[in-house]
């Protein structure tokens, strides 16, 4: 894949929105395989210069691989942090893992392995090669690690941070977002947890409740600004 074939539309990008959009894109597959998904985000806003759509593609591609090679009911963790002038997006899982002889080749074209990846699933294809090229075009780097077959894998994307841009107050949408406390109420726990995760990732303070009694208790304690409420709850409308 030649760099000349890829056009980046670069602008300041806040990475929580990238991660949220990428996670949303793979939610149906995660839900189907009943994966437990954890989000770790201890940093404030992390800004990079890049192409939002391409960065979503990179993170989504890595998430897709984790979903593909993690058994039903498995665990996937997404971390977003900033340190030493760089932002790191890390995706780790407890899936099939990567054989030692494959780790150094994992970003090559059409990589397949009889040892740690099921050939019936088609190998890793060209996806990770595209991720590596796109990340490098953003001035960053991507790496993979694993303790071996059956012990899961971890992928990290590191991108250089930039200063938070100063938006023109006259521009539409330039006013800073007001952080809100949001209570998400839904007896479909997967739906509630997914929406709560995305809201937290985009800077709000969100919590979940799964039945009417719990929702009333959490509302009294949490004092939310907004409640996103399923109208079809059992036992109480």
Longest dimension (CA), the chain: 59
Distance of alpha carbon 133 from alpha carbon 61, whole angstroms: 13
State mean pLDDT over 39-48: 83
Condensed to tens digits (0 to 9), the pLDDT of residues 4-42 reads: 467 889 999 999 889 988 988 888 899 899 999 888 887
Split at pLDDT 50, 70, 90, the class of 163 is very high
Distance of alpha carbon 112 from alpha carbon 181, whole angstroms: 46
Judge whether residue 115 has pLDDT over 60: no
Q: How high does pLDDT run on average in the chain?
A: 84
pTM above 0.75, yes or no: no
Judge whether residue 129 has pLDDT over 70: yes
Split at pLDDT 50, 70, 90, the class of 118 is very low
Query: How big is the CA angle at 119 (ends 115 and 122), to the nearest 5 degrees?
Result: 130
Collapsed DSSP state (helix, strand, coil) of residue 237: coil
Query: How big is the CA angle at 31 (ends 121 and 223), to the nearest 5 degrees?
Result: 150
Place of tokens 């984790």: 66
Residue 19 in tokens: 């991660």
């Amino acid at each position: 894949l030649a760099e000349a074939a890829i056009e980046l539309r670069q602008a300041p990008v806040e990475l929580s929105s990238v991660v949220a959009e990428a996670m949303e894109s793979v939610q149906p597959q995660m839900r189907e395989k009943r994966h437990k998904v954890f989000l770790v985000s201890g940093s404030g806003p992390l800004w990079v210069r890049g192409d939002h759509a391409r960065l979503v593609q990179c993170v989504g591609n890595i998430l897709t691989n984790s979903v593909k090679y993690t058994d039903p009911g498995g665990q996937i963790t997404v971390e977003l942090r900033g340190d030493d002038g760089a932002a790191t997006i890390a995706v780790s899982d407890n899936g099939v893992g990567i054989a030692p002889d494959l780790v150094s080749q994992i970003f090559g074209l059409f990589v397949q392995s009889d040892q740690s990846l099921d050939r019936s699933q088609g190998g890793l294809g060209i996806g990770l090669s595209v991720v590596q090229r796109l990340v490098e075009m953003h001035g960053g780097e991507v790496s993979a690690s694993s303790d071996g077959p059956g012990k899961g894998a971890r992928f990290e994307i590191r991108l250089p941070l930039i200063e938070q841009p100063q938006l023109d107050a006259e521009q539409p949408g330039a006013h800073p977002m007001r952080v809100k406390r949001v209570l998400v109420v839904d007896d479909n726990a997967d739906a509630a947890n997914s929406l709560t995760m995305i809201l937290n990732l985009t800077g709000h303070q969100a919590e979940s409740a799964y039945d009417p009694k719990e929702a009333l208790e959490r509302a009294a304690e949490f004092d939310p600004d907004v409640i996103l409420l399923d109208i079809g709850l059992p036992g109480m409308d």
